[in-house]
Amino acid sequence: RPGKTVPAGCCHAFAADGRCVTLLKGLMTNHCIYACKYCVNRVSGDCRRAAFTPAELAELTVEFYRRNYIEGLFLS
């Protein structure tokens, strides 16, 4: 279903030509200095912190693409 995110971090979206494509959806980091009450990544949250280097994220994206898991990257 378009817009639905699965636990593995992939979501579906429509391309300009109407095809439904699978995208790897993620963040460069979930480190945050703000305290937005609605956000799981707020500074006071107790979630596990993580960060990708640009090279790590590029390698992961290319590998998922080569394995035909995804067709692109949705980076927030």
Give domain limits for the chain: 10-75
Under DSSP, is residue 1 helix (H, G, I), strand (E, B) or coil? coil
- The single-letter code of the amino acid at 48 is R
Q: Distance between CA 42 and CA 48 in Å, rounded?
A: 11
Q: What is the pLDDT of residues 7-38, one digit of tens each?
A: 568 999 999 999 999 999 999 999 999 999 99
Phi, psi (degrees; rounded to nearest 5) at 52? -105, 145
Tokens of 7: 């636990």
pLDDT tier, 3 (very low <50, low <70, confident <90, very high otherwise): low
Q: Residue 76's pLDDT is what?
A: 86
